[in-house]
Amino acid sequence: MRISMSKRIFPVVVALLLSCFSARAESQQQAEEEFDQQSFIMSHIKDAHSFHIADVDGHAVAVPLPVILFGQGGVSVFLSSAFHHDNSGKVVVERAGRRFVMCNETIYYASDTPSADGTYLTYDAQGNITNGKPFDMSFTKNMVTLTMAMILLFAIFLTMGRFYRRKENVDKVPRGIARVFEPLVVYLRDEVIRPNVGEELYRRYTPYLLTLFFFILFTNLLGLIPFFPFGANVSGNTSYTLPLAFFTFVIVQVNGTKEYWKEIVSMPGVPKPIMIVLAPVEFLGLFTKPFALTIRLFASILGGHITILSLLMLIFVFKMWAIVPASGIFVVFMTFIEILVAVIQAYIFTLLTSIYIGAARVSAEHED
Query: Mean pLDDT throughout 251-255?
Result: 92
Asked if residue 222 belongs to a domain, the reply is: yes
Q: Which residue has the higher pLDDT, 141 or 7?
A: 141
CA–CA distances in Å: residue 270 to residues 260, 267, 274, 276 = 15, 6, 7, 10
Nearest to 289 by CA among 223, 220, 358, 202: 358
Asked if residue 232 belongs to a domain, the reply is: yes
Residue 275, number of CB atoms within 10 A of its CB: 15
Last residue of a domain, one of 99, 120, 136: 136
Do 318 and 355 lie in one domain? The reply is: yes
Separate counts of helices (H) and strands (E) for the chain: 11, 8
Predicted confidence (pLDDT) at residue 178 exceeds the cutoff of 50: yes
Last residue of a domain, one of 105, 136, 167: 136
Residue 133, pLDDT score: 93
41-45, 197-201, 293-297, 312-316, range with greatest mean pLDDT: 293-297
Asked if residue 13 belongs to a domain, the reply is: no
List, in sequence order, every residue forming a beta bridge with 75; answer none if it has no partner: 70
Do 354 and 215 lie in one domain? The reply is: yes
Amino acid type, 355: I
Please give the share of the chain, as a percent, with pLDDT higher than 90.
43
Predicted confidence (pLDDT) at residue 171 exceeds the cutoff of 80: no
Predicted confidence (pLDDT) at residue 150 exceeds the cutoff of 80: yes
Cis, peptide link before residue 229, omega less than 30° from 0:
yes
Nearest to 303 by CA among 315, 292, 314, 295: 295
CA 156 to chain centre: 23
Do 197 and 318 lie in one domain? The reply is: yes
Residue 46, pLDDT score: 86
pTM exceeding the 0.75 threshold for the entire prediction = yes
Predicted confidence (pLDDT) at residue 230 exceeds the cutoff of 70: yes
Residue 111, pLDDT score: 92
Residue 35, pLDDT score: 61
Residue 97, pLDDT score: 85
Evaluate whether 105 touches 47 at the Cβ level (below 8 Å): yes
CA distance 121 to 101: 8
Predicted confidence (pLDDT) at residue 209 exceeds the cutoff of 70: yes
Evaluate whether 294 touches 245 at the Cβ level (below 8 Å): yes
3-class secondary-structure state, position 62: strand
Last residue of a domain, one of 136, 154, 171: 136
Q: Which residue has the higher pLDDT, 365 or 35?
A: 35
SS3 content of the chain, % helix, strand, coil (to 5): 60, 10, 25
Do 153 and 121 lie in one domain? The reply is: no
- Give the number of domains in the chain: 2
Its domain, for residue 109, covers 50-136
39-48, 50-59, 98-107, 161-170, range with greatest mean pLDDT: 98-107
